[in-house]
Structure 1
Amino acid sequence: MLKISTQQASIFLVLTLMLGTSIRTVRSLSMSASTSKKPLHFHWFRQDLRLHDNPALNKSIQNGNRTPKNNDISNGMVPIYCFDPRFIGGNTMTPFGSQKCGVMRAKFMLDSVADLRANLEKKGSGLVVAYGKTEDVMQKLCQAIDTEVSNDDIEPWVVVQEEPYSEEESVDKAVKRSIKTFKKDASGEFETVWAASLYDIEDLPFNDGVYGMPDTFTPFRNKVEKNCKIPNPLPVPPKNSLALPKNSAIQSVLSGESSNSIPNCSLSYMPTLEELGYDAEEVEKANNPDKRGVMEFKGGETAGLKRVQEYIFDKDLLKIYFDTRNGMLGADYSTKFSPWLANGCISPRFVAKECKRYENETGIVNKSTYWVVFELLWGAFFRCFAVKHGNKLFFLDGTLGRKAHGEHANSRKWGMNPKHLQAWKDGMTGYPLVDANMRELKATGFMSNRGRQNAASFLAIDMSTDWRYGADHFESYLLDHEVSANWGNWCSAAGMTGGRLNRFNIVKQSKDYDAQGDYVRHWCPELANIPTKLIHEPWKLSKEQQQEYDCRLGVDYPNPLVPPTAPNPYARDNRGNGRGKGKGGQNQKGKRGGNNPNRGRNQRQDMKSLNQGSYKFD
């Protein structure tokens, strides 16, 4: 008879468990040596609120499938989502004084979780939703189940999508501790899976992996596209693979029917915005979207997949994306995929695969069909950039530290005038393009990429304001907030990543991308009567013209917060102009920057350098 050592057996067990999921994507895996305890599998949904192409969910399913079929505790899994008050809530504030998650993003998240639950229920499963610190919820839930299942000894196994940021990693460590300490002799397993990027992080073709990647996008993109393949998106799991544990005692706890069930945590519980701490005025705003917005964004995988189908296939807009992406009014200038991508309702790999399917089915392969995938690559870049630099992304001096700006290192001075900052937030800077965009953000939770570039440049460079206040404000309001994209772009806009510092010429940008002033008039109605030739520079109005056009400077509309002629050592007024002039009007063609959440970088490229359609799949 073949004999193997204990060490060999352990190695065999690990390899067997991990078959079917790339070893490279699984982190923090340590197998239990216990043979008497029964694993209880949890899939902790976080920023992966979907069933399609979900590597972390696939790993949870694999864990459950390797359990003997007669084990009614381990055969199956418990999907769970926690509304953690450290990340969401009307009273959850940041060190910079903003709500960490504004009410409109909170509403989008609630809708997304509700849709996820509905989709799981259609598969014969369910979703436990809880409100509380995630580690507390997990510990109490494990205790409740362990008490209810008195004749068995459970061992929690938790799988979650990796979020490589300090706050999320701190929670991960706390959850890992909680499942290993929920009782005296407790043990448990905790795994994170890299799953939110176009490429696997271990596939990066750089010496030292992610830590050897360049800090600027173009060399990153060139090498990745040449050497890497996009993993094919995973299909939606089959119905029988998502089943809850069959144990009736566990089901009693999860349904909230047991005396051991914990409050605000069950298969039927869903918090309201009011329960999350948002006041009546905020809730009214979230439930009644501003009709001036480009479109109504509804959270969830169902709505996200519908938008992808609609934009690429039903309306056949992919083929002209490059030429229309800088528009600022209307639903279809750009993909508008970003809120669903940022919240994990749709997968970037799925979007890229749909672009490839469009090319294959129509025979149309051009810079537009490529450019959507190019935008997704920006998301991959910033996510890897965040892994490489860690908390430096949140420091005033960014990833450069004291080396920032070379010759200007000793002259760069940051400030923070509370009144000026509030004027910027409220869209009252006296610069129409900036003001229109900031008002749109405040009213709807959305802002075009072109707008984000200009708003960030104005705050960080023209106003010389600590850029982190801008990133913090965007985090609060944006429906499509994603940590690495938002903070990475703001850090870059401030010139703190090593890339070229670009000061946007706000007036020229306004004339180029809102030539007729339609967008400005849409969001700044006090400027509605001003003729097109003056609407981008209202400070040039004479007193007689102010009276004629019913717009008094300093009364109806503010004087410029920063003098238009103020010198700035970082000026590159020819930057960010693009190849063509976008139009802000509803029925005119324009240019807008993309589907990737808050990319905020100038994309002027020599099109001859683009290897169109160069992305490859496994």
Structure 2
Amino acid sequence: MTTAIYWIKNDLRLDDNPALTAAAAGADHWLAVYCIDARHEARDADGQPRLGPHRRAFLRESLTDMRERLAACGGRLLVLQGDPSDLLPRLAATLGAERVTTTFEIAPEERDQVAAVARALPAGMLDCHEANGLYEAAELPFAPDDVPPGFSRFRRKVEGYCRPGAPIPAPTRLPPPPPGLTGWPDALPASSDWPAAGCPYTGGESAGLARVRHYFWDTEALADYKQTRNGLLGPDFSSRFSPWLALGCLSPRQLMAEIHRFEREVVANESTYWLGFELLWREFFRWILRAYGGRLFRRAGILNRQDRPRARDDDRFAAWREGRTGMPFVDANMRELAATGYMSNRGRQNAASFFARDLGQDWRRGAAWFESRLVDYDVASNWGNWASVAGVGTDRRDRGFDVLWQARRYDPDAAFVGHWLPELRGLPADQRHTPFLLPDELRRQLDYPTLATVPAAWRDAAAD
């Protein structure tokens, strides 16, 4: 009788899960295990939890859903509390397991953890599979360590030479769990311990698949994605698949296959291409992180720019994270993040640019705050985008955003600002983006902060 363990990390789904499929193949007994370890309780340099309240709730819901979906196929998920390099070898020995299967990791901390588990197990017992990307290394037209440094070159390479593999169907039956689990108490957090905290998204593969059905087939909103993707209010201006992609509740190959089915059955247009284009951006940052590793997290970044700001002004940081900078477009986005754990891509780019360039702060402090608060935090996309905005990523043009210009273009009626900044709702729409231009007495009556800094774009324009 063979026994196999599947160590789950950020791959909380049954559909298109190569590691899960491989783990179950040929096993008489099979057990899925998730470990809540010290990283789940870790704090950043500012004392903030790296796994903030919205991410915690989404993870708890995703684990609950995974447990239910596995049980429906005859399988079992066991959630354990502790270091996987300690727990998994002991569990494998207790159960007499022949192998432990998991997914390959690309970020330094996660890779170190996998390596620690491999060392703690008997040699060759840990079986790693690639997952959570559009492409596996063998499918790429370049070596993983030689990824093109710019997105346009990357896109041309992969679009011209390879296509994502077909997604693997979810199993309908799984081997039963092994005997001998009575001494292993389950540690799945209760909803009271990791509460929902106002997040608008429900974690888990079931909710992710429901979102796909809604966006692709119930509303056919995909057909207009390119025209609406820069929206700021409403449920369907964007696909909003990112929370489920971040935890592996949805597979990008699965989404790409669904885009192609939509193109065959409904319409193929710029919008359908553009959603695939955005998946390629996500893929690009994954391979950049895999190639450059820890360099992505340095202040000087991949480009080794030693002139980037070092400032860590606590007052400016607090004003930014709490939505009190005096720049309404930034403040509205930061208050949305605090309340919901979500922010549009347009908002993220502007909030990051304002922090790193206008406030002149060390960009890594802002990236760490997003890591804590974003329900869809993805290590490669978050740190890759922040590095790009800070001018230390892959884009050598070193350009920031004119936040006021962006606000007027993408929130022309100031509805988004009015929604999240109630103190400005009484102003006419054409004044909500610029309360700092109002007479002093009227500005004091608003109870809205003074502008924290003159934006860099205005200083540059004045110099010209």
Q: Deviations over 1:59-100 (max 9, x none)?
A: 2123xx1xxxxxxxx5232111112232x23xx212343211
Deviation at 1:113, TM superposition (A): 0.7
Provide runs of 4+ in structure 1 moved above 4 Å. Answer: 564-569
Structure 2 equivalent of residue 369 of structure 1? 272
In 2: Cα distance, 1:482 partner to 1:565 partner = 29
**Structure 1, unaligned stretches of length 5 or more?**
1-37, 66-73, 146-153, 181-186, 291-295, 572-618
In 2: Cα distance, 1:526 partner to 1:435 partner = 12
**Residue correspondence of structure 1 range 5-84 to structure 2 within 5 A:** 40-62=3-25, 65=26, 74-84=27-37
Structure 1 equivalent of residue 392 of structure 2? 496
Q: Report the AA paired with residue 165 of structure 1.
A: A
Aligned mate of 2:320, from 397, 409, 424:
424
**Do residues 163 (structure 1) and 105 (structure 2) align?**
yes
Q: Deviations over 1:566-610 (max 9, x none)?
A: 7656x8xxxxxxxxxxxxxxxxxxxxxxxxxxxxxxxxxxxxxxx
Say which SS state the counterpart of residue 331 (structure 2) adopts.
Answer: helix
Alpha-carbon contact 2:436-2:443 (below 8 Å) kept: no
Structure 2 equivalent of residue 543 of structure 1? 440
Larger Rg: 1
Aligned mate of 1:437, from 325, 329, 333:
333
Aligned mate of 1:516, from 413, 418, 423:
413
In 1: Cα distance, 2:400 partner to 2:338 partner = 24
In 2: Cα distance, 1:399 partner to 1:522 partner = 38
Deviation at 1:229, TM superposition (A): 1.2
Deviation at 1:144, TM superposition (A): 3.4
The percent of aligned pairs where both chains have the same amino acid is: 40
Deviation at 1:143, TM superposition (A): 4.1
Residues paired across the two proteins, number = 462
Q: Deviations over 1:221-251 (max 9, x none)?
A: 0111000011011111131xx1125xxxx42
Alpha-carbon contact 1:106-1:273 (below 8 Å) kept: no
Say which SS state the counterpart of residue 77 (structure 1) adopts.
Answer: strand
Alpha-carbon contact 1:215-1:497 (below 8 Å) kept: no
Structure 1 equivalent of residue 240 of structure 2? 336
Structure 1 residues 423, 437: closer, same or farther in 2, change over 3 A?
A: same
Deviation at 1:195, TM superposition (A): 1.1
In 1: Cα distance, 2:108 partner to 2:443 partner = 51
Alpha-carbon contact 1:96-1:472 (below 8 Å) kept: no
Structure 2 equivalent of residue 347 of structure 1? 251
Say which SS state the counterpart of residue 372 (structure 1) adopts.
Answer: helix
Deviation at 1:442, TM superposition (A): 0.8
In 1: Cα distance, 2:232 partner to 2:358 partner = 23
User: Which structure shows the higher helix fraction?
Assistant: 2
Q: Report the AA paired with residue 527 of structure 1.
A: L
Structure 2 equivalent of residue 505 of structure 1? 402
**Residue correspondence of structure 1 range 233-382 to structure 2 within 5 A:** 233-239=167-173, 242-245=174-177, 250-251=178-179, 253-254=180-181, 256=182, 261-262=183-184, 264-265=185-186, 269-272=187-190, 283=195, 286-287=196-197, 289=198, 296-362=200-266, 364-382=267-285
Deviation at 1:374, TM superposition (A): 0.7
Alpha-carbon contact 2:103-2:130 (below 8 Å) kept: yes
Aligned mate of 2:127, from 191, 195, 206:
191
Q: Deviations over 1:502-538 (max 9, x none)?
A: 2211111111111111110111101111112211111
**Do residues 118 (structure 1) and 50 (structure 2) align?**
no
Alpha-carbon contact 2:358-2:455 (below 8 Å) kept: no
Aligned mate of 2:425, from 506, 522, 528:
528
Q: Report the AA paired with residue 560 of structure 1.
A: L
Q: Report the AA paired with residue 140 of structure 2.
A: L
Structure 1 equivalent of residue 54 of structure 2? 104
Structure 1 equivalent of residue 137 of structure 2? 201
Alpha-carbon contact 2:151-2:281 (below 8 Å) kept: yes
TM-score (normalised: structure 1) = 0.72
Q: Report the AA paired with residue 270 of structure 1.
A: L
Say which SS state the counterpart of residue 42 (structure 1) adopts.
Answer: strand
Structure 2 equivalent of residue 400 of structure 1? 303
**Do residues 211 (structure 1) and 102 (structure 2) align?**
no
Alpha-carbon contact 1:39-1:157 (below 8 Å) kept: no
In 2: Cα distance, 1:566 partner to 1:368 partner = 31
Q: Deviations over 1:456-494 (max 9, x none)?
A: 100111111110001100000011001111111111110
Aligned mate of 1:391, from 281, 294, 298:
294
In 2: Cα distance, 1:327 partner to 1:481 partner = 20
Q: Report the AA paired with residue 355 of structure 2.
A: L
Deviation at 1:155, TM superposition (A): 4.7
Structure 2 equivalent of residue 465 of structure 1? 361
Q: Report the AA paired with residue 7 of structure 2.
A: W
Alpha-carbon contact 1:157-1:190 (below 8 Å) kept: yes
In 2: Cα distance, 1:482 partner to 1:56 partner = 20
Say which SS state the counterpart of residue 430 (structure 1) adopts.
Answer: coil
Alpha-carbon contact 1:194-1:200 (below 8 Å) kept: yes
Structure 1 equivalent of residue 449 of structure 2? 558
Say which SS state the counterpart of residue 38 (structure 2) adopts.
Answer: coil
Q: Report the AA paired with residue 159 of structure 1.
A: T
In 2: Cα distance, 1:477 partner to 1:158 partner = 32
In 2: Cα distance, 1:326 partner to 1:226 partner = 27
Q: Deviations over 1:232-288 (max 9, x none)?
A: 11111131xx1125xxxx42x32x2xxxx13x33xxx5222665xx6xxxx4xx35x
Instruction: State the Cα RMSD in Å.
Output: 2.1
Q: Report the AA paired with residue 271 of structure 1.
A: P
In 2: Cα distance, 1:351 partner to 1:313 partner = 13
Structure 1 residues 437, 179: closer, same or farther in 2, change over 3 A?
A: same
Say which SS state the counterpart of residue 121 (structure 2) adopts.
Answer: helix
Structure 1 residues 312, 155: closer, same or farther in 2, change over 3 A?
A: closer
In 2: Cα distance, 1:566 partner to 1:523 partner = 25
In 2: Cα distance, 1:450 partner to 1:134 partner = 38
In 1: Cα distance, 2:117 partner to 2:328 partner = 47
Alpha-carbon contact 2:2-2:29 (below 8 Å) kept: no
Alpha-carbon contact 2:354-2:455 (below 8 Å) kept: no
TM-score (normalised: structure 2) = 0.95
Deviation at 1:197, TM superposition (A): 0.8
In 2: Cα distance, 1:304 partner to 1:134 partner = 27
Alpha-carbon contact 2:402-2:457 (below 8 Å) kept: no
Q: Which moved more, 1:451-460 or 1:494-503?
A: 494-503
